[in-house]
Structure 1
Amino acid sequence: MATLIDHLIKLTDHRDRDLLELTLSKALIDLVPIQRVIVARVVSEEGIKRWLEVATLDAKGGGKVVDPLRVDFQKLPLLEDNRDRLRAVQNRERIEIAWAGEDGPRITYFPLFSETVNEDEGALEIHSASPLTDEQLQTLTQVQHVFRNMYHLLAYSDRDALTGLLNRKSLDDTFYSAVLDELGEGPESSQTDVLKTALAPGQERRHRVPPNYWLGTISIDQFGIINDKNGHLIAEEVLLLVARIMNNTFRTYDRLYRLGGEQFAVLMHCPDEALVLAAFERFRANIEKFNFPQVGRITICAGFTRITPDDSPSTALEHAERAVDYAQHNGRNKVFSHAELVRKGFFGDAVKIGAVDIF
């Protein structure tokens, strides 16, 4: 059986936040006499919050790992459906439920994070046959503390310093996972295989990500004029507010990026082009109706493209950016699909290097 030190090494070995919850679960199963571990994250869509159980592991074998990008949000349980778990998250405290006598089985809930950073919230749910001892609780707390430190360290390296959105490096990493899946070269879809391979020594394999991946870019209209007229600090405030509106408009499990300057991006999974267009239109409308302090009303242009097996991050960004350029030269405050513009003959699909900084 692996020791505490062995599991701490595994946790600090990772360069991928998507595998940390699974590694945490495996460590607790090995180190503490418990029956089941569930890592549940809080996800939201249009102001509604639900539970997403991203990792479940049983002591007797078996379990599952869920990719947040491929879930059906409407089928997830509401936060109020598990009030004890919710109370642990809201109050930042341990909640212990004895459901068959004081010395019998119980469920213990812990807040996954000690504080909310970048909207991250979740709970660690422990099922045990009897109460956990002080020594066992101490081991659990130590492992969870290392998990939190690694999660925030990796999150910091993946984030834009100004807005807190993901950065270009993070986009490249997730993009290549999507392309591998489109090519059929990603990790096996079997949950058992994921559980086995994800923890193999020296291995950094990502969860399988679904096809129907879309990349969209967003540019603030006439941002240079906003900057020149109002100054750098006000312009930065506009960027911060645009990032906040993005977080409030798109789904929790959509990946939101700042590429630099006034350019943003969204990477999402969606089965239909019309639904992607609706999501970007909703964001465009939310920006248009927002009153930015000292600036007033502003608008954005957005363009999006479906990721294909032949794409690299730079070619997909170029396709999306060409749709943005078309919007900016045709009235601004618009959203266009690159594929739709190609179908209508407005331009071909040849790639040219545009305004996006791809390095």
Structure 2
Amino acid sequence: MATLTEHIIKLTDHRDRELLELTLSKALIDLLRIDRVVIARVLSEEGVKRWLEVASLDVRGGGKVVDPLRVDFDSLRELADEKDRLRCLQTRSLVEYAWAGEEGPRISFIPLFADSASDDEGVIEVHSGSALSQGQVQVIEDIVHVFRNMYRLLAYSDRDALTGLLNRKSLDDTFYSAVLEEMDHGLEGETAVLEASVLPVAERRHRVPPNYWLGTVDVDHFGVINDKSGHLIAEEVLLLVARIMNNTFRTYDRIYRLGGEQFAVLMHCPDEALVLAAFERFRANMEKFNFPQVGRATACAGFTRVTADDSPSTTLERAERAVDYAQRNGRNQVHSYDDLVRKGLFGDAVKVGAVDIF
């Protein structure tokens, strides 16, 4: 059995936040005499908050890891449906539910994050045959403390300094890991996450599923805004654009600032029309927003389906071609690269899986 020190080393070896919950779950199962660990995070969409069980492991080796990008939000349980989890979240303290009497099995709820001001919210469920001892509680507190430190450190390195959105490095990392819905049947859950972390880049490029979409957003006439209003006002515009994006897209869509006035969104969606509708909502929200000292500002967006042969650069290039088309044809528009190809406006072929559609 690995020691506490060995599990701390494993946690601090990570450079990928997506694997931290899995590593934390393994550490708790290995170090404590418990039956099961569940880590539940809070997701929100249009003001509704729900629970997503991002990782679960049991002592017999069974378990799963869920990619938030691929979740059906409406199928998740609302916060009030899990009263003990919610009480733990609200009090930021240990909550116990002894479901078969005070001396019997129970679930202990521990807050995943300590800072109530943080946007990240979650709860650890520890399923055990009896009450946790003081020593077990101390081990949990120690290992969770290390998890929180690593999470904050990795979150800081993944973020754009101005807007707080994810940065380009994070996009590259996500493209080769969290985006991977395994195309081989039967490879799922924990195995999928673990394989995504160790596959060489050349092999990962051929395992991207067809239902991921990458879009880019460019603020129209941003150079004019900068020249007319000054650098500080232009930065304020970028901050407000980031806020509009956060308020428009789903919390489990990945939103990035690529640099300058360029942003990107990575999402999992079954239908091109739904992706177009999401970007149109953003365009409309941007258009009606009153930017202080600037007034009206608009944006162009373009998006494309991620294919199995893609890399981040090739996908971004296609999305940017759709943005360029919008800018040349009046601005304040959203276009699908794939749709422009189908209409014959670009000379490319749209690829879906291994099939070329001309």
The letter for the 2-side match of 1:276 is V
CA contact (8 A) 1:97 1:108 kept: yes
Matched with 2:341 is 342
Residue 118 of structure 1: CA displacement? Answer: 6.3
Number of residue pairs matched? 344
CA contact (8 A) 2:209 2:308 kept: no
Q: Scaled by the length of structure 1, what TM-score is found?
A: 0.89
CA contact (8 A) 2:208 2:309 kept: no
Matched with 1:166 is 166
Change (3 A) 1:209 1:339: closer
Matched with 2:94 is 94
The letter for the 1-side match of 2:252 is Y
Residue 114 of structure 1: CA displacement? Answer: 1.1
Matched with 1:124 is 124
CA contact (8 A) 2:16 2:154 kept: yes
Moved more, 254-263 or 241-250: 241-250
Q: Scaled by the length of structure 2, what TM-score is found?
A: 0.89
CA contact (8 A) 1:24 1:143 kept: yes
Matched with 1:356 is none
CA contact (8 A) 1:14 1:20 kept: yes
Residue 282 of structure 1: CA displacement? Answer: 0.8
Change (3 A) 1:342 1:190: closer
Q: How does 1:103-122 map to 2 (within 5 A)?
A: 103-115=103-115, 119-122=119-122
Residue 188 of structure 1: CA displacement? Answer: 6.2
What is the rounded CA distance, in whole Å, between the counterparts of 1:74 and 1:93 in structure 2? 28
What is the rounded CA distance, in whole Å, between the counterparts of 1:81 and 1:179 in structure 2? 29
CA contact (8 A) 1:216 1:304 kept: yes
What is the rounded CA distance, in whole Å, between the counterparts of 1:117 and 1:265 in structure 2? 26
Change (3 A) 1:194 1:324: closer
Change (3 A) 1:295 1:192: closer
* Alignment pair present for 1:72 and 2:67: no
The letter for the 1-side match of 2:325 is Y
Moved more, 291-300 or 203-212: 203-212
What is the rounded CA distance, in whole Å, between the counterparts of 1:111 and 1:344 in structure 2? 52
Change (3 A) 1:220 1:194: closer
What is the rounded CA distance, in whole Å, between the counterparts of 2:174 and 2:136 in structure 1? 36
Residue deviations 1:266-325 (CA, integer Å, cap 9, x gap) = 011111111110110011111112222222221111000111223222221111111111
Residue 347 of structure 1: CA displacement? Answer: 2.4
* Alignment pair present for 1:46 and 2:46: yes
The letter for the 2-side match of 1:316 is T
The letter for the 2-side match of 1:159 is R
SS in 2 for 1:88: helix
Matched with 1:63 is 63
Change (3 A) 1:316 1:178: farther
Residue 194 of structure 1: CA displacement? Answer: 4.4
Residue 74 of structure 1: CA displacement? Answer: 0.8
Residue deviations 1:45-95 (CA, integer Å, cap 9, x gap) = 222111000001112331111111211111010111112211222232222
Matched with 1:85 is 85
Residue deviations 1:135-171 (CA, integer Å, cap 9, x gap) = 1111000000111111111111111111111111111
Matched with 2:276 is 277
Change (3 A) 1:178 1:107: closer
Q: How does 1:1-359 map to 2 (within 5 A)?
A: 1-115=1-115, 119-177=119-177, 184=183, 189-191=187-189, 193-194=191-192, 197=194, 204=198, 210-349=209-348
Residue 192 of structure 1: CA displacement? Answer: 6.0
The letter for the 2-side match of 1:49 is K
Structure 1 gaps of 5+ residues are 351-359
Matched with 2:356 is none
Matched with 1:354 is none
SS in 1 for 2:93: coil
The letter for the 2-side match of 1:53 is E
Residue deviations 1:209-249 (CA, integer Å, cap 9, x gap) = 74311110001111111112222112111111111111111
Residue 348 of structure 1: CA displacement? Answer: 2.0
Change (3 A) 1:144 1:180: closer
Matched with 1:357 is none
SS in 2 for 1:131: coil
SS in 2 for 1:34: coil
CA contact (8 A) 2:208 2:306 kept: no
Change (3 A) 1:180 1:99: closer
What is the rounded CA distance, in whole Å, between the counterparts of 1:173 and 1:188 in structure 2? 24
What is the rounded CA distance, in whole Å, between the counterparts of 2:147 and 2:208 in structure 1? 23
Change (3 A) 1:237 1:179: closer
SS in 1 for 2:141: helix
What is the rounded CA distance, in whole Å, between the counterparts of 1:23 and 1:152 in structure 2? 16
Structure 2 gaps of 5+ residues are 350-358
The letter for the 2-side match of 1:288 is E
